[in-house]
Amino acid sequence: MFNNKIYYIILFMLLGCALSAPAQLALSLDECIRIALSENPTIKVKEMEITRVDYSRKEAIAKLLPTINLSGQYTRNLSLQTMYMDTPNGTMAIKMGSDNTHAAGFQAQIPLVVPQLWKSIKLNENQILQNVETARSNKLSLVNQVEKAYYALLLAQDSKRVIEENHATAKLNAEIFQKKFDLGAASEYDVLRANVAVTNLEPSILEAENSIVALMLQLKVLMGMDVRTEITPSQQLSDFRGEMYARALSNTLGSDTTLANNTSLKSMDLQTDYLKKALDVQKMAWYPTLSGSASLMWHSMNNGSPVSGLRWSRASNVGLTLAFPIFQGGQRYYKQKQAQIAYDEMKWQRENLERSLRMQVETQNDVIAKNLKQIESNEDGVKMAQKANDIMQQSFKIGAASFIQLRDTEDALMAARLAYYQAIYNYLVAESDLEFVLGNTHYVK
């Protein structure tokens, strides 16, 4: 009975440890990007900025509505104003006013014709569009960063695996030579040479492990995840191999290689439109404005105590105010000239940016095409290196090849495999950069 209790206690302890152990999330590239787009703080801030500017637009529209104020005023006259009048009997002094003056009521104003304000509202609408495009630009940039971080992590993992396999082979060779040396069938030099081959690979493994840790942290930060969360990629670089040619054909030979969705050009177009509207605002400063006003007031004047003997009288009025701007020292003229120059500058900047982006598209297309050829070449290289290594291993077993020759073929195979994964990585990064320039990623509309 006592032994059964101990058994159940140990069982529950092991179950508790298993439940408390952090679960490792296996995430694909698609899942990493979607998490980043929903959890990255930068994206959230930009979306909040869109809301803020929308409130600013509503504030500008509110300026077209009437403003109504309730006001009250009390005045205590310490000395009354004296008015002098000349009469046939001499000068007569007359005191004007009373000790206390009360006033309360409503005042309203409404802009009727305000061309400059109307144009200013268009500026706020343009700012909303600019912030929307900025948010889209940040999302495109984030997708690009997550993709490259994910690909770099896969490259580090694949490189580590290749080096570890070579290290395991070298370690096995060292053990074999040690046994042969113990039996007197191998020299001490062979043993030392085999052990050196093992130790030479260990720094590379350590470097790959450090790269994996750093890239994993970078990916978590981009995704807006807690760095203590355990994640691991659910894909390898070779998993992208089957789709590369189809995507490359779409990117390099398809019709969707225009810059219509490029976020930099879109942002500059919106800025140009903003400057055009800002120029219109300055032009509207030359136009007259018309505003209406109305008031409903109650007044009371009395002497002595300010709270007794109050006699209220009501007064109301409505009116129109027409203002013609005539002269302001040349301010409007120079502001308009500044706005015109800024607008002209932006047009030249856009033209230069478009040339630069077209060059980037051509460059990335060229890089993608070269990387595809490099992948094919490296595939053949891996096959030849593998075949050469197999032949050398057979030759080594029958004593027809030296250990140095065997290690050379093993190192050549490792280098060929590393170059193959590097070529896949280079292609994927170039493809991601091209999608960013074109703004065509399906993750962001």
pLDDT tens readout for residues 159-189: 999 999 999 888 888 888 888 888 887 778 8
Contact 91, 83 (CB under 8 A): no
Check residue 256 and give its pLDDT.
55
* Averaged pLDDT for residues 54-64: 84
pLDDT at 43: 85
Q: Confidence band (pLDDT; 50, 70, 90) for 245? A: low
Buried b / exposed e over 378-407, threshold 16 CB at 10 Å, is beebbeebeebbeebeeebeeeebebeebb
pLDDT at 4 over 70: no
pLDDT of residue 72: 93
For the stretch 82-104, pLDDT in tens is 888 887 877 788 888 888 999 99
Q: What is the DSSP letter of 77?
A: -
Q: What does the pLDDT look like over 318-333, one tens digit per residue?
A: 999 898 888 777 888 8
Question: Is the predicted pLDDT of residue 155 greater than 90, yes or no?
Answer: yes
- Give the helix/strand (H/E) hosting 123: helix 115-183
- In the structure, what pLDDT confidence band is assigned to residue 306 with cuts at 50, 70 and 90? confident
Share of the chain above pLDDT 70, in %: 92
DSSP per residue, 361-421: HHHHHHHHHHHHHHHHHHHHHHHHHHHHHHHHHHHHHTTSS-HHHHHHHHHHHHHHHHHHH
Residue 6 has pLDDT above 60, yes or no: no
Which residue carries 């296996």 as its tokens?
Answer: 26
Asked if residue 381 lies in contact with residue 419, where contact means CB atoms within 8 angstroms, the answer is yes
- pLDDT band (50, 70, 90) for residue 8: very low
User: Where residue 247 falls among pLDDT bands split at 50, 70, 90?
Assistant: low
Write down the pTM of the prediction: 0.77
Q: What is the mean pLDDT of residues 33-41?
A: 89
Instruction: Pick the range with the lowest mean pLDDT from 2-11, 40-49, 342-351.
Output: 2-11
Q: Are strands 231-233 and 25-27 parallel, antiparallel or unpaired?
A: parallel
In this prediction, residues 304-329 reach a mean pLDDT of 86
By C-alpha distance, which of 441, 444, 433 is closest to 133? Answer: 444
Q: Which residues contact 90 (CB under 8 A, 6 or more apart)?
A: none
Number of Cβ within 10 Å of residue 193's Cβ equals: 17
- For 112-154, write each residue's pLDDT tens digit: 888 888 888 888 888 888 888 888 899 999 999 999 999 999 9
Report which of 155, 226, 217 is spatially closest to residue 422, judged by C-alpha positions: 155
